[in-house]
Amino acid sequence: MRAVSLHRDVIVVTSQLFQAHCTLVRESDEAFAIDSPVLPEELELLPALVEQAGFPKPQGLLATHADWDHLLAQLAFPEATLGCAESSAERLRAEPGAVQRELRRFDEELYIERRPLSLGAVQPLAVPGRCSIGADELELHAATGHTLDGMAVWIGSARVLVAGDYVSSIELPGLGEGDGMLDAYLATLERLRPLVGVAEHVVPGHGPVLDGERALAVLEADHAYLTALSERGADAELPKGRRSKQQRELHARNVARL
């Protein structure tokens, strides 16, 4: 696990698995953790890292969407309230136990042992909207297309965008199941574009944290790929740097989901 300070009030913790991130943000005596690392030992170390950094213990957890690998911070901070977009809260209600089953399958496949995940109280948040932290606010922006639910979080005081599973330099845009997901993904990129344009840093769900200029280039490449996918299907050209066997398999899944 690696921790990097992006701002005096923002720390990004990166998991050894999936290059997944947990973004810690503070304002005065209040702190939130956005998304989560993956491995049990990383989650066990997270409270000590927060303390060493001089951050308050997170009173709230935010999940950019309801995929299991973004919901594990509850294991580090079991007393904190989980906040997520209303669409994510509805997904969790509609699929009771799904997150725990997916996590259990993942752990069994890799022989990982951890205590059971309990999500506790889930607070639905209006998106688009704002979430108070100390005397400041975080902006919440709808982010769908990768899944039917989700949000991106804009930390305006630090000019940091936590983008969820969007704007990754190592992954193709991955379309979720359901009708209209390609259009939804393109609409998300358009909503994020103004924020990326003024961001100091963009934290994707997976992959390196990007400066604003690099993130904008990734966003443009993602938009071009999705447009080509819509027009040419399987013959769409993959962005440079994202043409590995794994990414070609993801491309094939995208084609199947059109």
Gap between the Cα atoms of 132 and 179, Å rounded: 34
Q: In the CATH hierarchy, which fold is given to the domain comprising 2-257?
A: Metallo-beta-lactamase; Chain A (3.60.15)
How many CB atoms sit inside 10 A of residue 63's CB? Answer: 29
pTM of the model: 0.95
pLDDT higher than threshold 90 for residue 78: yes
* Domain coordinates in residue numbering, the chain: 2-257
> What confidence category does residue 258 fall into, taking pLDDT thresholds of 50, 70 and 90?
confident
Q: Can you give the pLDDT at residue 121?
A: 84
pLDDT higher than threshold 90 for residue 85: yes
Q: CB under 8 Å to 179, separation ≥6 — which residues?
A: none
pLDDT higher than threshold 90 for residue 204: yes
Mean pLDDT of the chain: 97
